[in-house]
Chains A and B, each alone.
Chain A
Amino acid sequence: MLLKYRLLHLLLGSVFLSSASQANELPIEISGFGKVVGGYLDDPDLAYQGYEDELSFDRQSLAAIQIDWQVMPKLSLTTQLLAHSNKNRESGVEWLYLTYEVDDQWQIRLGKQRTPFFRYSDVLNVGFAYHWVTPPQQLYNGVLFPTYDGLNVKYRFGTQDVQASLEGYWGEFNDEYNIANLTIQPDIKNFHGLIGNVRWQNLSAQLGFHSGDIDLVLEDLNGLADILQQAGYQASADSLSTNGNVEVLFAGIAYHDIDYFVEAEVIKLIGEPIVFPTSSSAYVSAGLYLPPFTIHTTLATSHASYPPRVNEIPLGLAPQVDQLAFAYNQVYASLAKDSLDSIGIGARYDLSAHFAFKADIIRLRGKQGQRSFFDNPDNSNRPAATLYQFSLEWVF
């Protein structure tokens, strides 16, 4: 119901603004996108991305409008307002930034922007821009910080045959977001990255490096670390640190021809804070263009690991020390690991230049004793299920 009101509000707002901008010939452009996504998970004991064994439409459906105001010939202001059906996802201002087009080659942006981690990170909400209903969760899982406040500089160069770009950004992030069922508000400073992109005819390749210093408050964990430190177990206390550096390395390649495509991405995440395990993820996706249909298949995998626990707390010395060792071991035992393999098939039907219908079937196979991106894994079994999703996506 809430989604319906939000959609109505957005649609009415966009119609009003379109009319106003046309009537007064203001240098304002209104565009927008949205999607209604239905999903069903075939296992009654599991939940994945909020999907359970009943058809649900309120996990990923959303609508957004983007307003571009050409303030001056080279300066524009862009804002994107988003209404999300999922109560765990924040609705409101997704973007708000100024763009200065220095010339054909240089572009500078300042403000709140989406973090360009991977190929589709900055259009993750715009389902019309990719072929899946949901991009592979092994990469596009929302663990990393979705937006940042800061500066982005892009330089484009090339020859007739080879086009390239270099993009650098620097900023900070201090906002709430969710990792699975955990809501966190990290304070990220010195958040920066460099992305290189090369295109030669139908082939494109990307390389990226991202880094940030994280300060995260998790009261229970920080409290235990303080007690361990006071008791003299410094190495154990350090291993529970929620502060430190996170680095992400990324490589991607894509080939799009007139009747087929192949895409692949691979990432390596190295995190010092305990909530960011070292992980490697990758997918390869291939498909055929049979206008107006696109059919595709995707293989994806992820592997997550934590450093081994520190064995410095002696057992049997005193009951209080034993309790401390037990609490420390409990924390390590409860650390969620998201190793997951999946294979999916899907189809996209382009109804028009503005509407597309999609359907995907994904077989998910986790690792025994791990969370594997499931919301409620049963640690005694290997979590595995099939996710069915379909969506109507639009842009205007």
Chain B
Amino acid sequence: MRLLRYLTVILILLPGWVVAQQEEHIVVITKVDTPLDEVNKTMLRNLYMGNIGLGDITPIALSPGELARSIFNVRVVGLTESRIQAYWAQMRFSGRKQRPVEAINPQEAILMVESTANTVAYVPAGTPLPDSVKVIFESKPIP
């Protein structure tokens, strides 16, 4: 009975979560002096999945549970959170790659980008940004 109630709650909340993801956007930022002015989805996907392609650039992700992380996973990486977690478990425990460093919220991500050269992070679109960072990618609405 409790399981049924739980499933009902999930089914009620799920459409809201999907709509929220469709309406929300993210921007990808880096420090102004990073020699990177524009990136595309493929470059970001490679960067955040540990593939080669962007040289010395270090990615910063948000913690699981942050809405911007879900939007980034769906719109840019193209995988669900559970698949990404399984992927990183495979990479980590086969000694292949390390998952990106995680910031606990967008404010911490901005501080990390400001203080460290050659890092990129994603934050919700509309987040106030200091002059020391620049936007290099913006997710587009799903048509």
Which chain A residues have a beta carbon within 8 Å of chain B's beta carbons?
A: 31, 33, 66, 78, 80, 95, 97, 99, 104-105, 107, 109, 113-114, 116, 120, 122-123, 125-126, 128-131, 154, 156-158, 160-161, 163, 199, 201-202, 256-259, 261, 289, 291-292, 294, 348, 350, 352-354, 356, 395
Contact = CB atoms under 8 A, between A and B. Distances in A.
Nearest to A78: B95
Interface of B: 10, 42-43, 46, 51-53, 55, 64-65, 74, 78-83, 85-87, 89-90, 92-96
A395 B42 contact: no
A384 to B, nearest CB: 31
A292 B83 CA distance: 10
Nearest to A157: B52
Contact of A123 (B46, B81, B94): B94
Nearest to A128: B89
Given A31-B93, A163-B46, A353-B85, 13 more contacts: A33-B93, A99-B95, A104-B52, A109-B95, A128-B86, A201-B42, A201-B78, A261-B83, A291-B81, A292-B82, A350-B82, A350-B85, A354-B85
Contact of B46 (A95, A160, A350, A353): A160
A157 B52 CA distance: 7
Contacts of B10: 292
Contact of A160 (B42, B64, B86): B42
Contacts of A161: 42
A160 B45 CA distance: 10
Contacts of B95: 78, 95, 97, 99, 109, 113, 122
Contacts of B43: 160
8 contacts: A97-B95, A120-B90, A161-B42, A201-B78, A258-B74, A259-B80, A294-B82, A348-B82
Contacts of B46: 160, 163
Given A97-B95, A160-B42, A257-B78, A123 B51 contact: no
Nearest to A202: B78
The B contact surface, by secondary structure, is: helix
A77 to B, nearest CB: 11
Residue from the set B10, B42, B65, B82 with the largest chain A CB neighbour count within 10 Å? B82
Nearest to A97: B95
Interchain residue pairs A-B with the least CB separation, the first 9: A353-B64, A129-B90, A350-B82, A122-B94, A129-B89, A128-B89, A126-B93, A163-B51, A289-B80
Given A33-B89, A128-B89, A258-B74, A163 B52 contact: yes
A31 B92 contact: yes
Q: Which of A97, A105, A356 has the most CB of B within 10 A?
A: A356
A201 B45 CA distance: 9
A64 B94 CA distance: 13
B93 A66 contact: yes
Contacts of B55: 104
Contact of B81 (A97, A113, A353): A353
Nearest to A350: B82
B64 A352 contact: yes
A291 B80 contact: yes
B21 to A, nearest CB: 11
